[in-house]
Amino acid sequence: MRPIRFEQHQHLDGFVYVYAPGDETPVELHWPGLYQDWPDHDRTPFTEFAINNCEQEEMAVYFGLAWHLTQGLTRYAIPIWYRDPAARSIGRQPELVDWEYIVDSETPAGGERVVGFSRARVSGSDHSSSAGLFDVHAFRDLLLLQQSLWDASSAINLFAVRPGAHRRRRLLNTLRSPLPPHLVDVLDKGEMLIDVTIGMDVGTWSSLTVAVLSDLQVRLDELASAFEERVTEYEKSVPAIRDVPGFLRAIRDIAALD
């Protein structure tokens, strides 16, 4: 297990925390079955957790952290670039918006990765300058979105805001504004924007970026510590994992879905 550390970086109208592990991904001991042919199961590491033999158990850490940070709030997600494949994967259409939050996957350092709100760009389709904002009802929705994004790198913006139709409309209006929004326009106190960027090719890097209006360091440190313990327990269990179903049970434990 390698430490999970969120570093605070300066932002004009809020707080931005970045966990950018670089080559030091949180899980050191991997299940050998990831490098072998999987038996013919309906449920595989990829179908259940977007895990393969390159993007491995750390996927459960990144998405598990994002899910638990946003508990108690209503979640919406923008999958960067591949809006239409994401719609097919999740099985529903998004609301179209004009702005997305960009983190540069080719920059390894923490704060320097954050570009901020930029005009949406979408892979060749109708409305190519409109991103898609999807309702996220369950943890699996995030994974279905991720499964549609395989490229040199991928990114999902996860907005976690207060429940209610009025709050949803206000978020949509802000992300459709003529000028680039600021954090204070998009979020209220107690809400957050999380970017999950996965670097897949050489020269790209994964990170978890959390943007909020008030100090979140203590909560992030506590949650990171809890996930470090889960990774440690997982690594102890690796020699006893015999098959794909056993691996999936262990991954649920890492993501704190038990």
195-218 pLDDT, tens digit per residue, is 999 998 888 999 999 999 999 999
pTM of the complete model: 0.94
Report the share of the chain in percent with pLDDT over 70. 98
| Average pLDDT estimate for 180-184 | 94
Token representation of residue 248: 């999936």
pLDDT band at 124 (very low <50, low <70, confident <90, very high): low
Under 8 Å between Cβ of 77 and 145: yes
Section 82-94 average pLDDT? 93
Task: Return the half-sphere exposure (C-beta side, CA atoms, 13 A cut-off) of residue 249.
Answer: 9
pLDDT averaged over the chain? 92
- In three-state secondary structure terms, 201 is coil
Joined tokens for residue 5 = 């550390």
**Amino acid present at 19:** Y
Q: List pLDDT tens digits, range 56-66.
A: 999 999 999 99
Segment 125-135, tens digit of pLDDT: 666 789 999 99
185 vs 116: CA distance, rounded Å? 13
Confidence bin at 36 (pLDDT 50/70/90): confident
Q: How confident is the model over 231-251, as pLDDT tens digits?
A: 999 999 999 999 999 999 999
- % pLDDT > 90, the chain: 78
CA distance 16 to 34: 34
